[in-house]
């Protein structure tokens, strides 16, 4: 899940191109094995309204066709809506006054201190996992295990995953079903 999200692009079928194609094939194999063991979760499987990738949703959202995937479409749509609301507000007369005051305060703060921006990372140099991904992993794990999963459990699981080194020998295999082949005669 986390590896797939790092390849996200807001365009249809982004997950069917390049290196991410092999990772998504593994994800789909996992989804099929989960559905084989727990067929009642089939109603929770839905596709993204934008990119069409399959993902699990909460049972109360089962059957909805207007959901965005947790790989990036949901966050992108949320960000676009926030930008539209902000632009709408700051174009209004009271918004223009507020924006002028905010800019004045921001400019004063920049003059008072010369801080440089640094990328936030977890101790150990790993990139931070966003809240949406953590919530999706918590939901999916809870659905699979049939119990409530606490946030600390999910965070320990994610930390363990991020610490692991890959031992995959088929790293260059991009297509589902491709494996080791004998050399030609």
pLDDT digits (tens, 9 = 90+) for 143-163: 998 899 898 998 888 888 877
Q: Which helix (H) or strand (E) holds 47?
A: strand 45-47
Strand partners, 47: 54
Mean pLDDT, residues 29-42 taken together: 94
Which residue, 81, 105, 13, 109, is CA-closest to 53? 13
Q: Which SS3 state, helix, strand or coil, does residue 93 take?
A: helix
What's phi and psi for 70, nearest 5 deg? -80, 0
pLDDT at 3: 81
Question: What is the C-alpha to C-alpha distance for residues 23 and 45, in angstroms, rounded to an integer?
Answer: 19
Those residues whose C-beta lies under 8 Å from the C-beta of residue 38, and which sit 6 or more positions away, are 143, 144, 146
Q: How confident is the model at residue 18 (pLDDT cuts 50, 70, 90)?
A: confident
Ramachandran assignment for 121, one of left (phi > 0), alpha (psi -120 to 50 degrees), beta (any other): beta
Predicted confidence (pLDDT) at residue 170 exceeds the cutoff of 90 = no
pLDDT at 7: 85
pLDDT at 121: 40
Question: What is the C-alpha to C-alpha distance for residues 30 and 92, in angstroms, rounded to an integer?
Answer: 49
Mean pLDDT, residues 51-73 taken together: 91
Question: What is the C-alpha to C-alpha distance for residues 38 and 97, in angstroms, rounded to an integer?
Answer: 56
pTM beyond 0.75, yes or no: no
Q: How confident is the model at residue 115 (pLDDT cuts 50, 70, 90)?
A: very low
More confident position, 84 or 133: 84
pLDDT at 118: 39
Which residue, 43, 56, 50, is CA-closest to 1? 56
Pair 14, 146: CB distance under 8 Å: no
Q: Of all residues in the chain, what percent carry a pLDDT higher than 70?
A: 77
pLDDT at 11: 84
Predicted confidence (pLDDT) at residue 82 exceeds the cutoff of 50 = yes
What's phi and psi for 182, nearest 5 deg? -70, 150
- Give, as one character, the DSSP assignment of residue 160: H
């Amino acid at each position: 899940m986390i590896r797939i999200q790092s390849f996200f692009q807001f365009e249809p079928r982004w997950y069917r191109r390049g290196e991410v194609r092999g990772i998504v094939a593994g994800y789909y194999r996992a989804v099929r094995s989960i559905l084989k063991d727990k067929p009642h979760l089939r109603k929770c499987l839905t596709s993204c309204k934008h990119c069409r990738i399959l993902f699990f949703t909460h049972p109360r959202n089962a059957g909805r066709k207007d959901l965005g995937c947790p790989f990036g479409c949901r966050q992108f749509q949320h960000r676009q809506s926030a930008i539209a609301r902000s632009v709408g507000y700051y174009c209004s007369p009271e918004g223009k006054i507020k924006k002028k005051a905010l800019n004045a305060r921001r400019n004063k703060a920049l003059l008072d201190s010369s801080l440089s921006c640094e990328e936030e990372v977890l101790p150990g140099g790993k990139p931070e996992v966003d809240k949406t991904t953590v919530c999706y992993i918590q939901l999916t794990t809870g659905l699979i295990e049939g119990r409530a999963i606490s946030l600390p459990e999910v965070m320990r699981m994610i930390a363990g995953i991020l610490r692991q080194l890959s031992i995959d020998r088929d790293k260059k295999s991009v297509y589902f079903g491709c494996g080791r082949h004998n050399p030609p005669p």
